């Protein structure tokens, strides 16, 4: 039966698994108040931030790791993780020419050229290597429009007022176990600020690269769009292949004011572990956006293909009247990968609207769950939600689950949920093959057809990348 071959097809070697040989400054393993203070002092942070970290750390100590997700993994030893690792290069460079060529090479190898000559023409990139942002392109050009795009560490130094005003206001430090941990030890990440009335002139993108083994990655991203501002932002992630599991616990906060919009796209391809489930990233991420203003809009699009474990629910708090939240997701799991992912749409304001489109593809022995909450508060008169959750199974060893939760305190709210499960059948594959279409291309056609509604949401520049990524994951020995 050809499903065995479909299995082979989705089990392609990971192409970003190399390690860059670069001298790294690491602190000792383990977590304590001293470690939190050390991280803060290494970054030369203002007092308010140290206080924020320490409060989070103390909260974290009181909290318990959540266990409600449909995930199984060995107990994480939080004392066996390195909480800070940075490539040894003095200070962040003013000019790219001074950045260690090895780092530039690494990103180029990953398809993210940073140098002036080769960089993508319409995308500004912040490149984060282990715990540190090493370069951000097009900063000056963006500054001309009043747009701030830099690493969060730089923002702390250069725009402490903005950080103090917004950090932790969407995801409070005690929101959940992993968010608390992140708040205590976060290393770097991106900061974006789009001032009132400005439409960001180019795509913004952060590329996260884990390089060191035993290192946890704790990025923190904050994006603020003031009244009438808009921006499209994309993050990409890869990591080398290590046979130990690595923890990645990020927090992303979005704030949108009146008539503003943020489109946030993710292409996540962390190392997923091998076919027996050895190694891979534990991806525990808290992403939330707040539509604070009237008529504001947040759109999450995610293509999740990597990580051994994915625990991630990009959410929207729809406070402003007529605000809109969207979640478009493709999650592909294979081998022993486990994903428990979905979204929360919290309708607070009147006439708020949300759309959820989730496509889960499970192959091998993987498990792929959609978990989503649609909550309609008492003041959300005329709120509307539409959810669609489709699962595709490849082979007969994979599992797909859907956990939709609907809580409505508004009798006239319109909440619509549709779900479907399909399997790539041998007969469908045979039909395509019997028309001269190779096995591999046949699978890829069906999978990208299944994902089209989501891929259509990705920024143009990255739609091809996502297609390629899935094709890569699906590429096989055929042809």
Binding site for other proteins (CB under 8 A): 1-2, 422, 425-428, 430-439, 441, 445-446, 448-450, 452
Residue with tokens 């962040």: 92
Question: Other C-beta atoms within 10 Å of 116: how many?
Answer: 10
* 8 Å CB contact between 316 and 353: no
Take residue 29 and report the two structure tokens written for it. 């393993």
Take residue 163 and report the two structure tokens written for it. 């950080």
Quote the distance between the C-alpha of residue 321 and its chain's center: 27
* 38 vs 437, beta carbon nearer other proteins: 437
What is each CA distance from 296 to 223, 258, 429, in whole angstroms? 14, 5, 44
The pairing of strands 280-291 and 251-256 is parallel
* 48 vs 431, beta carbon nearer other proteins: 431
Q: Which of 393, 452, 403, 448 is nearest to 424 (CA)?
A: 393
* 219 vs 390, beta carbon nearer other proteins: 390
Q: State the nearest-atom distance from the C-beta of 424 to other proteins, in Å.
A: 10
E strands in 130-180: 132-136, 148-151
* 8 Å CB contact between 336 and 367: no
Q: State the nearest-atom distance from the C-beta of 447 to other proteins, in Å.
A: 9
What is each CA distance from 104 to 112, 322, 436, in whole angstroms? 9, 44, 43
Q: State the nearest-atom distance from the C-beta of 311 to other proteins, in Å.
A: 28
* 169 vs 428, beta carbon nearer other proteins: 428
The pairing of strands 399-408 and 190-194 is unpaired
Q: State the nearest-atom distance from the C-beta of 438 to other proteins, in Å.
A: 5
Take residue 190 and report the two structure tokens written for it. 């991106």
* 19 vs 445, beta carbon nearer other proteins: 445
* 143 vs 426, beta carbon nearer other proteins: 426
Q: State the nearest-atom distance from the C-beta of 454 to other proteins, in Å.
A: 11
Cβ partners under 8 Å of residue 157, min gap 6: 44
What is the DSSP annotation of 366-435?
A: -EEEEEEEEEE-TT-TT-EEEEEEEEEE-SSS-EEEEEEEEEES-TT-EEEEEEEEEE--HHHHHHHHTT
* 415 vs 451, beta carbon nearer other proteins: 451
Strand partners, 390: 359, 420
Q: State the nearest-atom distance from the C-beta of 442 to other proteins, in Å.
A: 8
Q: State the nearest-atom distance from the C-beta of 365 to other proteins, in Å.
A: 22
* 276 vs 435, beta carbon nearer other proteins: 435
Q: State the nearest-atom distance from the C-beta of 435 to other proteins, in Å.
A: 4
* 109 vs 452, beta carbon nearer other proteins: 452
- Using CA atoms, how far apart are residues 37 and 413, in angstroms rounded to an integer? 48
Q: Which of 321, 384, 359 is nearest to 449 (CA)?
A: 359
* 80 vs 425, beta carbon nearer other proteins: 425
Question: Other C-beta atoms within 10 Å of 149: how many?
Answer: 28
Q: State the nearest-atom distance from the C-beta of 455 to other proteins, in Å.
A: 11
Q: State the nearest-atom distance from the C-beta of 450 to other proteins, in Å.
A: 5
């Amino acid at each position: 039966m050809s499903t065995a071959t479909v299995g082979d097809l989705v089990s392609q070697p990971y192409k970003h698994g190399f390690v860059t040989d670069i001298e790294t400054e690491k602190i000792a393993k383990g977590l304590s108040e001293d470690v939190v203070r050390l991280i803060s002092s290494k970054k030369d942070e203002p007092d308010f931030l140290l206080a924020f970290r320490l409060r989070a750390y103390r909260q974290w100590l009181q909290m318990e790791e959540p266990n409600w997700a449909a995930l199984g993994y060995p107990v994480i030893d939080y004392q066996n993780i390195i909480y800070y690792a940075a490539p040894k290069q003095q200070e962040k460079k003013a000019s790219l020419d001074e950045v260690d060529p090895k780092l530039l090479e690494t990103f180029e190898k990953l398809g993210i050229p940073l140098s002036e000559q080769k960089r993508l023409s319409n995308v500004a990139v912040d490149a984060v290597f282990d715990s540190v942002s090493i370069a951000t392109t097009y900063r000056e050009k963006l500054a001309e429009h009043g747009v701030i795009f830099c690493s969060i560490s730089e923002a702390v130094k250069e725009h402490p007022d903005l950080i103090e005003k917004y950090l932790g206001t969407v995801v409070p430090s005690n929101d959940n176990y992993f968010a608390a941990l992140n708040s205590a030890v976060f290393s770097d990440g991106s900061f974006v600020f789009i001032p009132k009335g400005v439409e960001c002139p180019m795509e913004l993108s952060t590329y996260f690269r884990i390089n060191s083994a035993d290192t946890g990655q704790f990025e923190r991203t904050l994006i603020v769009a003031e009244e009438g501002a808009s921006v499209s932002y994309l993050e990409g992630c890869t990591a080398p292949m290590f046979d130990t599991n690595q923890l990645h616990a990020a927090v992303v906060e979005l704030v949108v004011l009146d008539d503003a919009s943020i489109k946030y796209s993710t292409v996540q391809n962390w190392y997923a572990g091998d076919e027996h489930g050895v190694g891979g990233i534990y991806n525990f991420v808290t992403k939330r956006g707040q539509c604070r203003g009237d008529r504001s809009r947040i759109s999450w699009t995610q293509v999740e293909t990597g990580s051994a474990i994915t625990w991630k629910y990009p959410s929207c708090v729809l406070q402003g009247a007529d605000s809109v939240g969207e979640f478009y997701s493709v999650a592909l799991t294979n081998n022993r990968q486990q994903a428990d992912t979905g979204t929360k749409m919290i309708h607070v304001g009147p006439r708020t609207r949300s759309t959820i489109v989730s496509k889960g593809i499970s192959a091998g022995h993987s498990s792929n769950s959609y978990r989503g909450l649609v909550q309609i508060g008492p003041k959300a008169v005329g709120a509307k939600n539409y959810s669609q959750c489709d699962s595709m199974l490849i082979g007969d060893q994979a599992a797909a689950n859907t956990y939709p939760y609907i809580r409505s305190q508004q009798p006239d709210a319109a909440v619509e949920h549709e779900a479907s499960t399909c399997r790539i059948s041998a007969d469908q594959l045979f039909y395509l093959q019997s028309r001269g279409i190779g096995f591999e291309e046949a699978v890829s056609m069906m999978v990208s057809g299944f994902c089209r509604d989501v891929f259509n949401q990705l920024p143009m520049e990255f739609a091809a990348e996502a297609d390629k990524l899935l094709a890569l994951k699906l590429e096989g020995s055929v042809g």
